[in-house]
Amino acid sequence: MVYFCFSWRNLIKGELVGFAGRKVRLPCRTQAAGQGGLEVCWGRGEPSVFNCHNAVINAVGNRVTYRKSYRYSVSSSSSSLSILSSRVADTGYYHCRVQLPGLFNDQIATIHLIIIHRMTVRPQANINNKQLATRSMSGMTSCNITTLLVTSHIHTYLNQYFFT
């Protein structure tokens, strides 16, 4: 009978949120990531014990040996995975595996990628923040008014930078 002892201590989890249509970069957070000449594989889903599961790209140093799609690239200096023109369908778990010599020496890092649609909704054009604040202030305490004004500024900021 053969027993295998596998330690998940090398498994580091993280989470990354990106916008659809943009490039996202997933870091490979292992000690060996970025060391020259090592084989690095990125796969989708939870990692397997023995190999790179559902590979999207595989590289040795700066030479790519397998690429599932042109949208995937890997950095030879940091082993990070870049996904061009990300899609909501790209959401899920990814793992990088840095393959080291010897049995069960590989280093694995798992990251959960969440891709969201960029919002394109704008507030009604005929109501601006000043009108909203003026109409809402009757019967409010100064604390509520301050909260409303701060919320109004945050709303303006979000509209300006995120809702295009």
Give the SS3 label for residue 52. Answer: coil
Residues of the chain short of pLDDT 70, as ranges, are 1-12, 33-34, 119-164
Which residue type occupies 126?
Answer: N
d(CA 110, CA 107): 10
Report pLDDT for 11.
55
What domains are defined for the chain?
A: 12-116 (2.60.40.10)
Q: Provide DSSP, 84-144.
A: SS--GGG-EEEEEEEE-SSTT--EEEEEEEEEEPPP-----TT--HHHHHHHH-TT--HHH
Report pLDDT for 128.
53
Instruction: Of 40, 90, 95, give the one whose Cα is nearest residue 69.
Output: 90
8 Å CB contact between 57 and 76: no
Dig out the tokens for 78 from the structure.
Answer: 């940091």
Farthest-apart Cα atoms in the chain, separation = 79
Q: How far is CA 20 from the centre of its chain?
A: 11
Phi and psi at residue 71, to the nearest 5°: -70, -15
Report pLDDT for 44.
95
